[in-house]
Amino acid sequence: MITAIISKKGGVGKTTTSVNLAAALAARGRRTLLIDLDPNAGASMSLGVAKADLGPSSADLLLHDVPAAALVRETSVANLYLMTASVDLRGVEVELDKRGRKDAVLGPCLRPIRRDFDHVFLDCPSSIGLLTRNAITASDLFMVPAVPQFLATDGLDHLVETAVRISISAGGRTELLGILLTMADYRLRATREIVGQLRERFGTKIFVVEVRTNVSLAEAPAYGKTVFQHKPYATGARAYRLLADEFLDAVDRKRQPDLTAASNVHAWR
């Protein structure tokens, strides 16, 4: 299963979710690959890769036809593998723009390795540019992290529709796995009300698990560690462990479409 983690907005927890959800699945013994598609390389550096060691990266996959297998690295977490990003990805947007089928370059590049992993996550930049569009068309599923604050969740429906449309126009059928509420801060009085409104509006399309604001999640990247390596008992670590359970259940339901239809879940399209 390939899952893209997308949002139009910056700083909503895409990278934190990619790293820690991937690590939580790896801890459950699933072979998991995290592919960093953000030129800022936040996911790569969160997993302890130094700036000077970012290349070769996913940019070489997209621009220079380097085989994906040659770009996959081990990490300090058992079962967790990484394909780094680098600043060269900035050139990818420009370069792909010159080619035909520019939205569907990544998928074929990943085909030779996708069966080597139980789960592949794509950490995307915060826009729906060519990198995110390629991530969408290469994926089976996508997740959208969103912060439950005033105005922060505007445009969620539009984003989901756009992603599905991008997939369909490339001949695919990428589906929403779920919207994930991140950095929920219940010290703010409005949070409870905003979360209530979102759950009413989006129903089962929002993960039950919420990731609350938790300082350990913000600290861990500075040490090049996942939250489980940094503070395994922090509430943020617990949230991502619970999310891994819910993620696996949701993916199982996607694999058994009859059950999905019966329980009327994920009826987005």
Ligand X SMILES: Nc1ncnc2c1ncn2[C@@H]1O[C@H](COP(=O)(O)OP(=O)(O)OP(=O)(O)O)[C@@H](O)[C@H]1O
- By CB under 6 A, the count of residues binding ligand X is 20
Q: Which residue is nearest to Mg ion (CB)?
A: 15
Sole window of 5-13, 21-29, 113-121, 148-156 interacting with ligand X (rule: CB under 6 A): 5-13
Min dist. Cβ of residue 38 to Mg ion (A): 5
**Of these, 13, 39, 42, 178, which contacts Mg ion (CB under 5 A)?**
42
CB 61, CB 148: distance < 8 Å: no
DSSP string, the chain: -EEEE--SSSSSSHHHHHHHHHHHHHHTT--EEEEE--TT-HHHHHTT--GGG--S-HHHHHHS---GGGG-EE-SSTTEEEE---TTHHHHHHHHHHSSSGGGSHHHHHHHHHTT-SEEEEE--SS-SHHHHHHHHH-SEEEEEE--STTTTTTHHHHHHHHHHHHHHTT---EEEEEEE-SB-TTSHHHHHHHHHHHHHHGGGB-S---B--HHHHHGGGGT--HHHH-TTSHHHHHHHHHHHHHHHHHHHHH-HHHHHHHT-----
Q: How many residues bind Mg ion (CB under 5 A)?
A: 3
Q: Based on the shown chain and the rule CB under 6 A, indicate whether residue 148 belongs to the binding site for ligand X.
A: no
Query: Quick one: 36 or 104, whose CB is closer to Mg ion?
Result: 36
Q: Rule CB under 6 A: say whether 139 interacts with ligand X.
A: no
Q: Given candidates 221, 234, 250, 253, which one binds ligand X under the rule CB under 6 A?
A: 221
Q: Closest separation between CB of residue 236 and ligand X, Å?
A: 6
Q: Is 133 in the site for Mg ion (CB under 5 A)?
A: no
- Give the shortest CB-15-to-Mg ion separation in angstroms: 3
In the list 3, 5, 12, 15, the residue contacting Mg ion (rule: CB under 5 A) is 15
Q: Does 14 bind Mg ion (CB under 5 A)?
A: yes
Which of 86, 132, 167, 182 binds ligand X (CB under 6 A)? It is: 182
The site for ligand X (CB under 6 A) is made up of 7, 10-16, 38, 42, 126, 182-183, 211, 213-214, 217-218, 221, 236
The site for Mg ion (CB under 5 A) is made up of 14-15, 42
